[in-house]
């Protein structure tokens, strides 16, 4: 059974001035796959995500999304093509309520133009009502329907994460990039998060690239894992292979512990 | 004959550029620390120029005390501005637009105070301040004013460079220009550094105000030349004080040339176009670094 | 009586420009000192067309707005992708450049001496109805995705981008609408006061509008309007000389931004029952 390749990254490098954040990364995300990228801090994981979503322009390399090179495209256009993401430092909109935050994902799909907006044409009301319903359904899906009218940033951290995930999903993507969704989540809530991601993955038939430090999150979710260290790719494989790979262990724990 | 005229204009332009560079560097210092453009610097300029004027006319002080009065007024005014307009917003992590609103408002307010107190008419520094009107260098007749401006600017920048490189406060200011938060975490009182920066910036502004008043006339609207400092900062590259200073000199020369050719009415139009071209083609300026946002 | 009518008509005209600033600077955080220059552009274009070329007033109005939209498009194209500081500087430069043009093209504009003998065509009715329409337009925009996107971009532009919002396009739309409002207000002004000169469209006027928006409530439509009425009426009532008026504005806004950054009426929204009145009507209409 041949799965389509959603994202194919070839020879990706990104340097900032003198610092090489990512060096010659090659990777693939197949349809309905969950791929993980792990590595110690500063390994370049977020940089890879940022180049895919268009926030950074790669220094060299190509990023193919469904047979289309998306290097150089604007972040908004990349999102419109079907790639959505969440952020390591939760990037919610200041002073906006939860439901309004979700609705912004639908802005570019508006069925009215600025003239319609200026004169409150009936189609405006119709569209707004439509996305109100659709946004509420996303909130129900992540369990936040009771908090729709609260200011998003006033919620506890774990809920803010879910708002971000719901916002990303509301853009109705094929590919989801999750940047450390487990960061700041305490131990008791981690399983809920894993279940949520797994459930969404299956229900929506998403393809996911996942970065995290929490090994339990990575091992439970990913089919394939890339390991980065100081910008270089040092290993890749299934969760079992990675767990036992001495190179990976050395990168995380340092040399002495191997011999201990 | 033509050549002599051109040379006169060049000196004129350099002198104007010197004043612009003092303004620009003072402006850029605040930008480097607080990451926003302080329009209120124009108010510092204006107040200092008039303070010097009062010192010269009401108190009859000679040239150098007048300059000192200007610089002191500049420092004090700048510190007051920081307290009223920026401190509380900074503490609240306010959005950029709030800083713009308060800084332009301070500029307007200070300008209005000058209008109310001095009226809208022109004032002039007493001509007795500078003993010799002109200096003859060969075929050239140079107003002493210009020479004074150039010398004062060079001295001020030398002093500034020494302060920034050799004194504790100066080094702290440079560190804060790089990263204010980190500097604070290092145990240096960030609020104090900000104040010190405003004080230094204010002294530069005060000097430029007095020099401008000496070479031209005084009106309450004098503060608006702070925009030249802003333009020079853009052209030279925010983050590099040297680049900013050089760009300001260039701007002075360009402006003198434009006024001589197309007049003072249309030169803002040309300067606007030059600026737009720079903003589109090289927004980091000639010497500056580009800012990359971290995700 | 005539005095009150004159004052309130003038205030209504200014409020039209203020509505533009509410969209641009209040809701979108774009700091432009050049909006008054668009008012001048509208005023001069219409005056020149009507007085010098005998064009009928309605056509002149449309032409002024079109000219302004074109100019705003080009200015926006050059300036809307850059940092906020540079945008502020560029728009200031634009304003100065426009004033330079207004002053220098004396044959056309009358320069600093002014353009006179403009017929009075603006009636109080026209001014108030225009203001009502403008308020309706701004209210509609706020309720649409444009309103949401303004807050989103302001709140976190990176997240807005990765949610599909084209920030440049959004800002261009807002900038053009805001400039068109200022231009239209300029037309009304010229044909009410019967006189315009190049000194009336400088950066200080733009700042006054910004002060009104932030005084009343940058995110509140009613707040901006109430704030505008207060700040514009008060000096008339208290008979301030114009120098003190500006001083008062400055001190007030410095106080408000430090103490009540959301503005005097910043947290006011239409009482729920009035809102329900509107939504009910819409539901019945379906």
Is C130 contained in some domain? yes
Q: Could you give the number of structural domains in chain C?
A: 1
Is B141 contained in some domain? yes
Is B235 contained in some domain? no
More confident residue, B265 or B242: B242
**Helical H segments across chain C, by residue range:** 2-21, 35-47, 57-79, 84-104, 106-109, 124-143, 145-155, 157-161, 167-193, 203-216, 221-237, 242-259, 272-285
- Among C33, C90, C243, beta carbon nearest to B279: C90
Q: Could you give the number of structural domains in chain B?
A: 1
C-alpha A18/C-alpha A1 separation (Å) is: 44
**Nearest-CA residue of chain B relative to C76?**
B276
Q: What is the mean pLDDT of chain C?
A: 89
Instruction: Write the secondary structure of B57-109 as one string of H (helix), E (strand) and C (coil).
Output: HCCCCCHHHHHHHHHHHHHHHHHHHHHHHHHHHHHCCCCHHHHHHHHHHHHHH
Q: What whole-number percentage of chain C has pLDDT above 70?
A: 92
Q: Do A108 and C165 touch (CB under 8 A)?
A: yes
Whether C87 shows a pLDDT value over 70: the answer reads yes
Give this complex's ipTM: 0.89
Domains of chain A: 5-82+173-259 (3.40.50.300), 93-161 (no CATH)
Sheet strands (E) in B219-263: none
Whether C285 shows a pLDDT value over 70: the answer reads no
B294 pLDDT tier (thresholds 50, 70, 90)? very low
Is C177 contained in some domain? yes
Distance from CA of A110 to the nearest CA of C (A): 8
C-alpha C137/C-alpha C280 separation (Å) is: 20
The answer to whether the Cα torsion of B61, B63, B67, B68 is positive or negative is negative
**Which of A71-75, A124-128, A229-233, C34-38 is least confident?**
A229-233
- In contact, A84 and C162? CB cutoff 8 Å: yes
Q: What is the pLDDT of residues C121-163, one digit of tens each?
A: 989 999 999 999 999 999 999 999 999 999 999 999 999 999 9
C-alpha B274/C-alpha C153 separation (Å) is: 29
DSSP label at residue A93: P
Q: Which of B239, B244, B272 to mutate to test the interface with C (most CBs of C within 10 A)?
A: B272
Is C169 contained in some domain? yes
**Count of A-B CB contacts under 8 Å:** 10
Is C161 contained in some domain? yes
Token digits of residue A110: 């508006």
C-alpha C137/C-alpha A119 separation (Å) is: 6
C-alpha A226/C-alpha B205 separation (Å) is: 56
Q: What integer pLDDT is reported at residue C278 of this predicted model?
A: 53
Whether B285 shows a pLDDT value over 70: the answer reads no
| B27 conformational bin, left if phi > 0, alpha if psi -120 to 50, beta if neither | alpha
Q: With beta carbons under 8 A apart, name residues in chain C contacting B101.
A: 31, 210-211, 214, 253, 257
Is C48 contained in some domain? yes
Whether B147 shows a pLDDT value over 80: the answer reads yes
Mean pLDDT for the stretch of residues B172-180:
81
Q: What is the mean pLDDT of chain A?
A: 89
The top-scoring range by mean pLDDT among B212-216, C2-6, C224-228, C267-271 is C224-228
- In contact, B232 and B71? CB cutoff 8 Å: no
C117 pLDDT tier (thresholds 50, 70, 90)? confident
Is C87 contained in some domain? yes
C-alpha B256/C-alpha B265 separation (Å) is: 13
C-alpha A72/C-alpha A230 separation (Å) is: 24
**Nearest-CA residue of chain C relative to B107?**
C250
Q: Do C143 and A120 touch (CB under 8 A)?
A: yes
- Among B292, B293, B295, beta carbon nearest to A46: B295
Task: Record the pTM.
Answer: 0.90
Q: What integer pLDDT is reported at residue B295 of this predicted model?
A: 42
Is B276 contained in some domain? no
C-alpha A74/C-alpha A82 separation (Å) is: 13
Q: With beta carbons under 8 A apart, name residues in chain A contacting C73.
A: none
- Among B109, B227, B279, beta carbon nearest to C79: B279
Whether B169 shows a pLDDT value over 50: the answer reads yes
Q: What integer pLDDT is reported at residue B191 of this predicted model?
A: 85
Is C31 contained in some domain? yes
Is B274 contained in some domain? no
Is B183 contained in some domain? yes
* Domain carrying residue C135: 2-202
Residue that is written with structure tokens 């774009």 in the block:
C30
Is B71 contained in some domain? yes
C-alpha A82/C-alpha A208 separation (Å) is: 12
C-alpha A206/C-alpha A200 separation (Å) is: 8
More confident residue, C81 or A121: A121
Q: What integer pLDDT is reported at residue C179 of this predicted model?
A: 97
State the virtual CA torsion across C243, C246, C252, C256 in degrees, nearest 10: -160
Mean pLDDT for the stretch of residues A17-42:
88
* Domain carrying residue B156: 2-224
Q: What integer pLDDT is reported at residue C274 of this predicted model?
A: 55
The set of residues, in sequence order, having a beta carbon less than 8 Å from that of A161 and lying 6+ positions away, is A86, A90, A181, A184, A185, A193
Q: What integer pLDDT is reported at residue A260 of this predicted model?
A: 37
Is B229 contained in some domain? no
C103 in reach of chain B (CB within 8 A): yes
Is C238 contained in some domain? no
C-alpha C225/C-alpha C215 separation (Å) is: 10
Whether C82 shows a pLDDT value over 60: the answer reads yes
Q: What is the mean pLDDT of chain B?
A: 85
Q: What whole-number percentage of chain B has pLDDT above 70?
A: 93
Whether C272 shows a pLDDT value over 70: the answer reads no
The set of residues, in sequence order, having a beta carbon less than 8 Å from that of A2 and lying 6+ positions away, is none
**Which of A91-95, A130-134, A252-256, C130-134 is least confident?**
A252-256
C270 pLDDT tier (thresholds 50, 70, 90)? low
**Cα angle, residue B252 at apex, residues B250 and B254 outer, rounded to 5°:** 70
**Which of A82-86, A153-157, B275-279, C154-158 is least confident?**
B275-279
Distance from CA of C142 to the nearest CA of A (A): 9
Is B80 contained in some domain? yes
């Amino acid at each position: 059974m041949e799965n389509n390749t959603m994202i194919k990254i070839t020879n990706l490098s990104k340097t900032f001035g003198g610092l090489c954040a990512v060096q010659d990364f090659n990777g693939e995300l197949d349809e309905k796959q969950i791929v993980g990228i792990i590595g110690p801090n500063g390994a370049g994981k977020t940089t890879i995500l940022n180049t895919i979503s268009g926030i950074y322009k790669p220094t060299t390399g190509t990023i193919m999304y469904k047979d289309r090179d998306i290097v150089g495209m604007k972040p908004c256009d990349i999102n419109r093509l079907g790639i959505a993401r969440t952020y390591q430092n939760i990037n919610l909109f200041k002073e906006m309520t939860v439901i309004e935050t979700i609705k912004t994902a639908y802005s570019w799909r508006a069925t009215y133009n600025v003239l319609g907006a200026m004169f409150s044409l009936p189609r405006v009301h119709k569209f707004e009502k439509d996305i109100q319903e659709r946004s509420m359904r996303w909130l129900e899906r992540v369990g936040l329907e009771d908090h729709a009218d609260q200011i998003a940033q006033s919620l506890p951290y774990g809920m803010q994460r879910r708002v971000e995930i719901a916002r990303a999903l509301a853009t109705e993507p094929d590919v989801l990039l999750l940047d450390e969704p487990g960061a700041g989540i305490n131990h008791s809530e981690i399983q809920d998060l894993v279940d949520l991601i797994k459930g969404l993955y299956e229900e929506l038939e998403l393809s996911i690239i996942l970065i995290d430090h929490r090994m339990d999150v990575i091992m439970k979710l990913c089919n394939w894992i890339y390991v980065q260290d100081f910008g270089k790719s040092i290993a890749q494989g299934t969760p079992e292979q990675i767990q036992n790979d001495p190179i990976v262990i050395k990168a995380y724990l340092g040399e002495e512990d191997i011999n201990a | 004959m033509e050549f002599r005229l051109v040379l006169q204009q060049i000196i004129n332009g350099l002198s104007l550029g010197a004043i612009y560079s003092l303004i620009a560097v003072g402006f850029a210092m605040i930008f480097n620390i607080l990451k926003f453009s302080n329009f209120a610097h124009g108010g510092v300029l204006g107040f200092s120029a008039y303070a010097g004027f009062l010192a010269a006319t009401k108190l009859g002080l000679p040239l150098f005390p007048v300059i000192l009065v200007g610089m002191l007024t500049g420092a004090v005014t700048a510190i007051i501005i920081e307290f009223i307009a920026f401190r509380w917003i900074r503490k609240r992590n306010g959005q950029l637009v709030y800083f713009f609103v308060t800084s332009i408002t301070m500029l307007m307010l200070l300008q209005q105070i000058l209008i109310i107190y001095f009226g809208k008419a022109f004032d002039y520094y007493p001509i007795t301040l500078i003993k010799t009107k002109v200096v003859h260098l060969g075929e050239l007749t140079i107003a002493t004013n210009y020479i004074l401006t150039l010398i004062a600017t060079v001295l001020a920048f030398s002093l500034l460079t020494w302060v920034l490189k050799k004194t504790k406060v100066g080094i702290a200011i440079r560190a804060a220009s790089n990263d204010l938060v980190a500097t604070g975490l290092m145990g240096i009182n960030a609020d104090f550094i900000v104040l010190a920066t405003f004080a230094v910036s204010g002294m530069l502004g005060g000097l430029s105000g007095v020099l401008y008043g000496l070479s031209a006339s005084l009106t309450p609207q004098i503060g608006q030349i702070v925009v030249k400092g802003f333009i020079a900062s853009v052209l030279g590259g925010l983050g590099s004080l040297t680049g900013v200073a050089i760009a300001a000199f260039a701007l002075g020369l360009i402006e003198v040339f434009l006024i001589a050719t197309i007049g003072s009415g249309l030169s803002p139009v040309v300067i606007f176009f030059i600026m737009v071209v720079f903003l589109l083609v090289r927004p980091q300026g000639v010497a500056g670094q580009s800012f990359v946002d971290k995700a | 009586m005539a005095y009150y009518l004159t004052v309130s008509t003038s205030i209504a005209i200014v409020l039209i420009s203020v509505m533009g600033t509410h969209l641009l600077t209040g809701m979108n955080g774009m700091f432009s000192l050049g909006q008054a220059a668009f008012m001048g552009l509208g005023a001069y274009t219409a005056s020149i067309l009507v007085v010098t070329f005998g064009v009928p007033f309605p056509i002149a109005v449309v032409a002024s707005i079109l000219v302004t939209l074109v100019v705003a498009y080009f200015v926006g194209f050059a300036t809307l992708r850059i940092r906020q500081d540079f945008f502020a500087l560029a728009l200031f430069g634009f304003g100065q450049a426009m004033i330079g043009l207004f002053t220098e093209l004396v044959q056309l504009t009358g320069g600093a001496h002014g353009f006179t003998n403009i017929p009075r065509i603006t009636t109080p009715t026209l001014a108030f109805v225009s203001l009502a329409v403008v308020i309706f337009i701004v209210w509609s925009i706020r309720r649409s995705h444009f309103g949401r996107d303004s807050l989103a971009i302001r709140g976190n532009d990176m997240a807005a981008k990765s949610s599909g919002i084209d920030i440049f396009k959004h800002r261009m739309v807002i900038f053009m609408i805001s400039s068109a409002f200022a231009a239209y207000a300029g037309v009304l002004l010229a044909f009410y006061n019967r006189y315009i000169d190049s000194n009336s469209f400088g950066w200080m006027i733009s700042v006054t509008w910004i002060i009104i928006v932030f005084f009343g409530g940058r995110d509140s439509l009613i707040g901006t309007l109430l704030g505008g009425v207060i700040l514009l009426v008060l000096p008339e009532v208290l008979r301030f000389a114009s120098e003190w008026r500006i001083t008062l504005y400055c001190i007030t806004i410095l106080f408000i931004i430090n103490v009540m950054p959301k503005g005097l009426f910043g947290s006011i929204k239409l009482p729920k029952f009035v809102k329900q009145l509107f939504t009910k009507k819409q539901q019945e209409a379906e």
